[in-house]
Structure 1
Amino acid sequence: MTDETYPGPWQAVVDFLRHRGVTTIFGLPADDLDLLRAVEDNPRLVLCRDQRSAMFLSIGYAMTSGGTAVCAIGKGPAVTNAVTGLLEAHSSGVPLVLLAAGTAVERRGSGAFQELDQIPLVAPLTKWAYRIDTPDRIGPALERAFLVAGSGAPGPVYLEFPDHLLTQPVPKRSWSAGTVTAEEAGEAILAAKRPLVLVGGGLRGAGHVAESLATKIGAGLFVTASGRGSVAEEHPAFLGLAGLYSPAEAAPLWEDADLLIALGTRLEETATFRPGFVAEGVPVLQVNVDPHGMSTEYPGPRVLADAGDTVRTWLATVDATPNRPWALEIAECRAASRSAVQDRLKVMAESDAIHVAEVLAAVDRVAPSDRILVQENGLQDMWSYFYPHWVCAPGGSVVPSEQTTLGFGTAAAGGVRLAAGDRPVIAFVGDGAFGMVGNEIRTLVEEKIGVLYVVLRNGGYGWLQHQYGDEPRFVDPHRALAVPPGVRHTVLTDKSQLDEVLATGVTDSAAGHVVVVEVPVSLTDAPPGITALDGDFPGGHPSGGTDDNA
């Protein structure tokens, strides 16, 4: 074992179990026997003669000890033998982690010895079933397994270790201590000198607790895309979105922070994309009511509780003194981001062409302060994700999930309008998304559901075209928008008419009319920094290669 790696997966497993205080493992391991060598009598490994019995022993141990039991088995028939035990653990609500062997990735589908697709077999009887295919996923998977098995309604979890992992070194990591109380997590807040607060969609409806916390501890305040509308964006510590959508001017804060307090967020990939996220190794204090929503990718305390209630506890009990130099740096970054937007708009104003940022600025000028913006996730309508190009009113943002399903915002705007009372609803979408579900616009017309659609028209699927090259294939710049009968439709090409046309659209939609303001835009009009990500985004570009305006 080197200082950086374990020689194999079972050494990592054993080290983790020791850290968690597990003293006993039950089971009948696979033929490799590496688990037996790794254990060295700590924890104690009770070798059984049948996997069913091993599961039953594990269940009995967990029910009596009150902790999470661990059972280790082989693959194929070993897993089918263990299924009866999974059924019992599932029915009894027993926290149990089943560690199973599996077919190597290069042998799947070849008729390998004891080959079986085990995940579909065990998934109905577990809270979480996961196959680990790369060594770097072992640590996060182990932490998540124990978190899920023992949290909420307890139950069994299944982890599969395919044979190809046996000879691969496994990266070491600092193991988490599991979940802590709000009071215990408060110690991390007191110790921090340069904290940031990140608010996710899980804090919707909690009032202004996040702003109060940021003020009390002197923290910079960010949101995820789904967290927009959960905080007042005029708060002096607010700096926009995290990750992919973070303003470039906020990068120094992410580089210098020594604690991130993540409230009600799963910390999905777009929210953690650097440089708009803390540096590697910086602790992330997570608060989430759902164990499945708790990320195990980052070090730091985890509080399994309602985020709003937890913050209220901190507001009452944590007596922190804000760090004045850090507060000044936050203020400087906020001022720099606002200045950068104004400079960008001044440059755009010198051109006759209508830019997406100018459309957003016009919407901001003419729409009432309680407006709701419903968004898609194409590259050009994504301008609305970048603060302060768009400043969201409280409760005034509806965005697609991390899946960024094409057409979501276009159709969802109708439902938002029905639930919004007198608040105006503006859908900021691309022509690809609008065309995909445009037939449903007829429903809104018939039902007199008034929505203002601002449709950015670049001729089709701009992100695909951007990747493909100059030859037109995915877009037709001359293609006009197909709009159903009954829609009040305007093609806006004169920049001087932006405010007038959009203001009329807001008024008409408030009266129950469906209004479409079609704005032809250039494919090159993309948010700052986004087009530079070609090939660099870890999971592929967030548009998924199918979004409308990218």
Structure 2
Amino acid sequence: MRSNDGLSLEGTGGEILVRCLKTHGVDTLYCVPGESYLAVLDALYDAPEIRPIVCRQEGGAAMMADAYGKLTGRPGICFVTRGPGATNASAGVHIAFQDSTPMILFVGQVAREDQEREAFQEIDYRRMYGQLAKWVAEIDDARRIPEFLSRAFHTATSGRPGPVVLALPEDMLRDRVTAPACLAYEPTESAMGLGQVERLGALLEAAERPFALIGGAGWDATACERFRRFAEAWKLPVGAAFRRQDHFDNTHGCYAGDVGIGINPKLAKRVKEADLLLVVGPRLGEMTTGGYSLISIPEPQGRLVHVHPDPEELGRVYRPTMAVAADPRSFAAAVQSLLPPAEPAWAAGTEQAHRDYLDWNAPVEIVGRLQMAKLMDWLAETLPADAILCNGAGNYATWIHRFYRFRRFGSQLAPTSGSMGYGVPAAVAAKLRHPERTVLAFAGDGCFMMHGQEFATAAQHGAAVIFVVVDNGMYGTIRMHQERNYPGRISATSLSNPDFVKLAEAYGGYGERVERTEDFAGAFARAQAAGTPALLHLILDPEAITPLKSLSQIRAEAESK
């Protein structure tokens, strides 16, 4: 691989692609190897700056890339092979799309001369990924690799961030060509206008019951700190969108709770009755609006200031009083100049909102010997503020969202798309990115089995994640809905599980079974001390399906209707 004049690159397509990845600042990629992109794997042999993380299934690799994108704000990079590799990876691409995570998936493709014949494992990726990605393309000419990669990085990070998919014909990767030089991408930013800042100030001063809701992508620690200062100065009650609780310190006096599934009824009432909603970052999708019930469509019941980096999301469902096409970083910087009244009229309401959150956050008793709320409260008191908690989807996640207190940005990795299996690979990526930090992966028994094989990836690459498997012997969320809609008619939701402790040991890790609340702290300390990936197998009474009602109570209520 060489450049004769500084303005061009010579080499195979695979070599040029890897050179461009280095130029764009890629330091890690996640992959399952395939013969369709052998030329890239060979080029990586001479690129020690890029660490390839070899995964056990393409879905896990794509989810790791998503987690990297969430943690860094830069595109997570994933390589998979054609056909089955691409279909497996689609779960991670869907997460990145719904979660607005920058990501680039490279898919090996059949040789150009064999296309349109339904060759071995051939798929038209433009059609397959068309609704799952911001842009899908195929690089048919190795000389255009720098051009396509520049566009991919810019597209993945601009406006509403999201995934890009690039298909790589295997013969193109072997072509030896001269290509234009590759220059590093420059992330685009959308900013708030001075007039909009002044108008926001006027709207706030005229409000009696304002409420701020933050979330979405495009934040960093500095933006979160600036927004905290803004909210603190104005004494604004602040809610966090679904699975974005780490955007605002949950212990802060302005924090009112998370606006998502299983919302505090008092918080839901506060959102509905707000005469000014300041929404910074969220799209205002189904999960963050209580199934579109918290805010009237299309005309909100109060004034709405909607701040989002992509103009196409503004007015998509709700007509805003003021639409601001700006990313959270620039918004948080711009509002630093807004000076509040000496004592906002709603200050007492903000204090009450935080008290309501603390009451909701207090542990509750459930049936069984293992009290999940107490465990989460213990973890909130014990773990350092920068500990990273990851989870997939299932009723077990309710315990995290309601009873853990996130204090720092970048400490929560969870799919707003509601994808099962996410927590395990996300935690592996997080621990590899931040080996000095405590990383926990929460998973239900059903959720863990979807990508539990990435425990082997953690062991191979030295990622000492603590996996917490909450086992109630069923697909709990579906069983709950079954009992609500078809009480007593159990169908296709029961699970027979392996011995998770022995499974962890078979992977080369530490495992321990926990059946009582009082045994958890000791087991957790032993897992931390193991120095290897560790698994705590929590046995949860199947009746303990939610913090509010048991499974039998849900069934009885349904039968009484």
Match of 2:453, SS state, is helix
1:354 CA drift (Å) = 0.3
* 1:353–1:495 contact (8 Å) kept in structure 2: yes
Correspondence 1:127-526 to 2 at 5 A: 181-200=196-215, 201-205=217-221, 206-273=223-290, 277-278=294-295, 280-299=300-319, 300-324=321-345, 326-342=346-362, 344-345=363-364, 347-348=365-366, 353-386=369-402, 389-469=403-483, 470=488, 471=490, 473-476=492-495, 480-481=499-500, 483-484=503-504, 485=506, 486-508=508-530, 511=531, 513-526=532-545
CA distance in 2, matches of 1:265, 1:271: 8
| 1:337 CA drift (Å) | 3.2
Instruction: Give SS of 1:271's match.
Output: helix
Give the 3 Å change call, closer, same or farther, for CA 230–340 of structure 1 in structure 2.
Answer: closer
- Distance in 2 separating the partners of 1:506 and 1:381: 22
Moved more, 470-479 or 399-408: 470-479
Counterparts in 2 of 1:237 and 1:403: CA distance versus 1, 3 Å: same
1:448 Cα deviation after fit: 1.4
Between the aligned residues of both structures, percent identity stands at 21
CA 414–355 in structure 1, closer or farther in 2 if over 3 Å, else same? same
Q: Structure 1 stretch 414-423 or stretch 396-405: which is displaced more?
A: 396-405
Tell me how far apart the structure 1 counterparts of residues 370 and 496 of structure 2 sit (CA, whole Å). 15
Q: Deviations over 1:75-112 (max 9, x none)?
A: xxxxxxxxxxxxxxxxxxxxxxxxxxxxxxxxxxxxxx
TM superposition shift of 1:278? 4.9
The answer on whether the counterparts of 1:242 and 1:277 sit within 8 Å (CA) in structure 2 is: no
Alpha-carbon spacing, 1:401–1:293, altered in 2? closer, same or farther (3 Å): farther
CA contact (8 A) 1:362 1:498 kept: no
CA distance in 1, matches of 2:244, 2:523: 30
Unaligned runs of 5+ in 2: 1-126, 136-157, 161-192, 555-561
Separation (CA, whole Å) in 1 of partners of 2:437 and 2:422: 20
Cα deviations by residue, 1:248-281 (Å, 9 ceiling, x for unpaired): 3323422331111111111111111179845642
Given that 1:251 and 1:276 are in contact with CA atoms closer than 8 Å, whether structure 2 keeps it comes out as: no
Higher relative contact order at CA 8 Å, sep ≥6: structure 1 or structure 2? 2
> Are 1:407 and 1:437, in contact at CA under 8 Å, matched by a contact in 2?
yes
By how many angstroms is 1:294 displaced?
3.1
Residue 246 of structure 2 aligns with an amino acid whose one-letter code is G
Structure with max Cα Rg? 1
Distance 1:337 1:310 in 2: 26
3-state SS, counterpart of residue 395 of structure 1: coil
Output the amino acid matched with 1:317: L
CA deviation vs aligned residue, 1:446-478 (integer Å, no higher than 9, x gap): 221110011100123122223334436322367
Q: Following TM superposition, by how much is the alpha carbon of 1:392 offset from its aligned partner in structure 2, in angstroms?
A: 0.6
> Which 10-residue stretch deviates more, 283-292 or 333-342?
333-342
1:479 positional shift = 5.6
Measured in 1, the distance between the counterparts of 2:546 and 2:225 equals: 29
Q: Partners in 1 of 2:209 and 2:376 — Cα distance?
A: 33
Measure, in 2, the Cα distance between the counterparts of 1:277 and 1:320.
Answer: 29
Structure 1: unaligned runs, 5 residues or longer: 1-119, 129-150, 154-178, 535-550
The answer to whether the Cα contact below 8 Å between 1:202 and 1:265 also exists between their aligned partners in 2 is no
Q: Report SS of the residue matched to 1:373.
A: strand
> How far apart in 2 are the matches of 1:229 and 1:341?
15
The 8 Å contact of residues 271 and 294 in structure 2, kept in 1 or not, is answered as yes
Task: Provide closer, same or farther for how the CA distance between residues 423 and 264 of structure 1 changes in structure 2, counting only shifts above 3 A.
Answer: same
Deviation at 1:245, TM superposition (A): 4.1
Change (3 A) 1:292 1:406: farther
Residues 399-437 of structure 1: CA distance to partner in whole angstroms, max 9, x if unpaired? 333322211111111001111241100111111111111
**Count of matched residue positions in the alignment of Structure 1 and Structure 2:** 355
1:267-300 C-alpha deviation (Å, 9 max, x unpaired): 1111111798456422221112222443532232
Shift of 1:363: 2.1
Moved more, 421-430 or 522-531: 522-531
The one-letter amino acid of 1:476's match is: L
Distance 2:234 2:475 in 1: 45
Structure 1 position 317, deviation (Å): 3.4
SS at match of 1:302: strand
Aligned Cα root-mean-square deviation (Å): 3.3
Structure 2 letter corresponding to 1:364 = A
CA separation of 1:525 and 1:262: change in aligned 2, threshold 3 A: same
Relative to the length of structure 1, the TM-score reads 0.58
Letter in 2 for 1:422: E
Query: 1:300-328 deviations in whole A, cap 9, x for unaligned?
Result: 2111122232233222134445434x222
Cα distance between partner residues in 2 of 1:191 and 1:525: 46
- 196 and 362 in structure 1: CA distance in 2 versus 1, 3 angstrom threshold: same
